[in-house]
Structure 1
Amino acid sequence: MEHLFTAIILGIVEGLTEFIPVSSTGHLILAGELLNYTGEEAATFQVFIQLGAILAVVILYRERFARFLTRKNISDGLNFRQNELNFMHVAIAILPAFIFGFLLHDLIKEYLFSSGTVLIGLVIGGIFMIVAERLPIPTFSRDLDRINFRQCFVIGITQCLSLWPGFSRSGATIAGGLVAGLNHKTAAEFSFIIAVPVMIAATGYDLLKSWHLITPDFMLTLAVGFVVSFLVAVAAIVGFLKLLARTKLTPFAIYRFVLAGVYYFAILR
């Protein structure tokens, strides 16, 4: 029963934070330490429930993902056409993170998954978000089908910053989108879409390495976390887009600074 309560709490944390620029990994690490749920099993749980959040994006953007599978979209991608968003845009945006994530995976897991490094990531990521929002860069793309390959590459490079836990994948990609000339809504939606292949690859790789930990008893805990994460993520994505239209990124950066300061002085110091 204790583990089910923990699964519900962490499922809520994952669903709320995966697609807003506050770092879901950082929040899960901090919450796990507060709940005294750490170790290999906890790490596997935290990875698995990300699949629930991924499913939320697939459901909400099902028409867009279905369009990727049409003959015209595939043909456009293979011929490097940029007239509408196709799988080549996504591939260009995710390739840098795939390469660096594969090369640095073990080092990141060994040295960066701690509360101290997460707090550093929260602060630096927040600064990056504020700087990106205040740069005098004109907006060139106001919807997903206006994104070009150069902008995708810029977003792909900034996404690599999120390999540091606490930096935030969504924060890095949305801020990267602003730097590349996307408006806030388009940058956020593109961030959601490219999260799907990135997170499937990352979670799949992690789960293959820790498959031996998934016992029948553990599966109930995983299922509860998955369902809670999915339901909360659906609401969080819809709510975040509405909130982003009014508040932009700076309030999320301030929240990151406050969280890092409170956790440091209340827990670590």
Structure 2
Amino acid sequence: MEQLIQAIILGIIEGLTEFLPVSSTGHLILAGEWLGFVGESSKTFKIVIQLGAVLAVLVLYWSRFVSLAKDMLAWRFFRKGHLDALHIALALLPAVVLGFLLHGLIKQHLFGPEPVLYSLVAGGILMIIAERTKRRVTAEEMDDLSYRQALGIGCFQCLALWPGFSRSGSTISGGLLLGTSQKAAAEFTFIISVPIMLGASLLDLYESRDVLSSSDLPVFLVGLAASFIVAMLAVVTFINLIKRLRLTWFALYRFVLAAVFYFFVLM
């Protein structure tokens, strides 16, 4: 029963933070440490419950994914003035290659509280720099993104392989530096997060098959359900927030979280 309650708490945290530029993985690692939810199976759980957030994005952006799928089936990979499959491929390529090569090292050495605290601070600094660096906005909406911007955002997404850095934090920062609006970068982050999070979760499940058992299934399912429900609400809320809130506020939150956890848990 205790593990199920922990799964619900972590699922809620995942759903709330996955698409905010504050790092869901970082929050899960720190919360797991605080709750005593640790071990090899817990590392896999913290990756797999991201599938709940993936399902939320699929539901909310269903028509967009259907449109992309139809274009791919019809071999239409280029659509001028419209987000197409090539945008997605260019954005995914850097993180997919780097993630595949470094997956084991990342899980072994970076899935701990101290590396997460460092990345929370580093990610916050990047967000402040991105917001204060003035660029001419050439992509107000997601469909305005160029292929160069898509590839550049994909390169910035590689920073999110470091738990605590935040996928949305790194990609929105990258988007701002490359001339996109916050809204365009945020929505593009939602779209590209689906295949990469799905791939990462399935890969981790396969690689962790020897340390998982049937008793882990209820905990995983409860965490997934909680993540899905909360992420549905969080995505809609975040799109409205990102139009009004500066990235600096999220950066300051990251600094405070890192300081609080360091002084009250690690010291």
For normalisation by structure 2, the TM-score amounts to 0.97
Whether the 8 Å contact between 2:72 and 2:85 is mirrored in structure 1 is no
Unaligned runs of 5+ in 1: none
Task: Determine which of 149, 152, 161 is the counterpart of 2:150.
Answer: 152
Report the equivalent of 1:24: 24
Taking a change above 3 Å as real, the CA distance of residues 35 and 65 of structure 1, as seen in their structure-2 partners, is same
C-alpha distance in 2, partners of 1:222/1:115? Answer: 22
C-alpha distance in 1, partners of 2:211/2:50? Answer: 17
Residue-by-residue CA offset, 1:112-169 (whole Å, 9 max, x unaligned):
1110100000000000011111111011011121111000011011111111111111
Task: Determine which of 224, 245, 248 is the counterpart of 1:247.
Answer: 245
Report the equivalent of 1:262: 260
For normalisation by structure 1, the TM-score amounts to 0.96
- Number of equivalenced pairs: 267
Residue-by-residue CA offset, 1:74-108 (whole Å, 9 max, x unaligned):
5441xx44431011100000100011111111111
Give secondary structure in 2 for the equivalent of 1:247: coil
CA shift, 1:37, in A, is 0.7
Task: Determine which of 85, 88, 97 is the counterpart of 1:87.
Answer: 85
Equivalent residue letter for 2:203: Y
CA shift, 1:72, in A, is 7.8
Report the equivalent of 1:171: 169
Taking a change above 3 Å as real, the CA distance of residues 73 and 175 of structure 1, as seen in their structure-2 partners, is farther
Task: Determine which of 180, 193, 198 is the counterpart of 2:191.
Answer: 193
Superposed CA RMSD in Å reads 1.3
Report the equivalent of 2:223: 225
C-alpha distance in 2, partners of 1:16/1:178? Answer: 23
C-alpha distance in 2, partners of 1:138/1:74? Answer: 35
C-alpha distance in 2, partners of 1:182/1:121? Answer: 24
C-alpha distance in 2, partners of 1:44/1:163? Answer: 15
C-alpha distance in 2, partners of 1:134/1:74? Answer: 42
CA shift, 1:69, in A, is 1.7
Report the equivalent of 1:99: 97
Q: How does 1:24-63 map to 2 (within 5 A)?
A: 24-63=24-63
CA shift, 1:71, in A, is 3.9
Identical counterparts, % of pairs:
52
CA shift, 1:241, in A, is 1.1
Equivalent residue letter for 1:58: L
